[in-house]
Amino acid sequence: MKGTVIITGGSRGLGKELVNLFLKDGWKVSTFSRHETRDVRYVEPSLLKLRADLRLEADVERVISETKKLLGQPSLLVLNAGTVSKATMVIEENIMNLRADCEVNLIANTFLLQEFLRKCSPGNVVHITSDVASSPYPGWGFYGASKRAMDYILETLRLENPGKLFLSIDPGDMDTEMHRTADPGADTGSLAKPRDAALKVYRRIMDVIR
């Protein structure tokens, strides 16, 4: 058994594939999203699925406590859950979309990160970032700003906590619900399958934590 990992947003897309890969490799996996069918589902000894909203502090606290109780102390947190709106030029975009992106991708992620570091020491953290966080692209300004800000938090934590892992990984463009929301007209044939992207992300994490 490799240890316990919390992966946010395991109901679909990249998160779902990461959950499968970690489980297959012998990890205990705790995951959550807003649309799990039941409140708490303890499917098998190694997998805990919770219905929880990352934006709600009480839900985040429950995720940490249920994970510790049922799967043991997690040693790794993968911040995968994220949100985006349809790609729109900054001058035209509704400011509410920046609030929504920052609420999930930055503020909620940061609260979970704080709780994890306070309650699950020693813990390693991986943030699933995006190429637009480092290279601005027309239409992706709000989302990119929220992802870049989260990368900045990790960079700061790295300086504040030498010896601990704070890693941002860009999975590349994938054919997922998120991408279809942001860019409904995209040629999906040119996008990676989430399973292939997850394998690359998983290997990168294993290279670093081994």
Q: Which is nearer to ligand NAP, 12 or 204 (CB)?
A: 12
Contact call for residue 104 and ligand NAP (CB under 6 A): yes
Q: Which is nearer to ligand NAP, 13 or 123 (CB)?
A: 13
How far is CA 24 from each of CA 1, 2, 31, rounded to the nearest angstrom? 11, 11, 15
- β-bridge partners, 33: 51
Number of residues this chain uses to bind ligand NAP (CB under 6 A): 28
* Positions in 44-103 near ligand NAP (CB under 6 A): 53-55, 80-83
Site string for ligand NAP, 1-20 (x = CB under 6 A): -------xx-xxxxx-----
Structure-block tokens of residue 204? 């990168």
Burial class (CB in 10 A: 0-12, 13-18, 19+), 199: middle
* Positions in 162-201 near ligand NAP (CB under 6 A): 171, 173-174, 176-179, 194
d(CA 39, CA 196): 30
- Upper half-sphere CA count for residue 36 (Cβ side, 13 Å): 20
* Positions in 112-171 near ligand NAP (CB under 6 A): 128, 130, 171
Q: Taking a C-beta distance cutoff of 8 angstroms, is the pair 21, 199 a contact?
A: yes
Could you tell me the smallest distance in angstroms from the CB atom of residue 163 to ligand NAP? 26
| Binding region for ligand NAP (CB under 6 A) | 8-9, 11-15, 33-35, 53-55, 80-83, 104, 128, 130, 171, 173-174, 176-179, 194
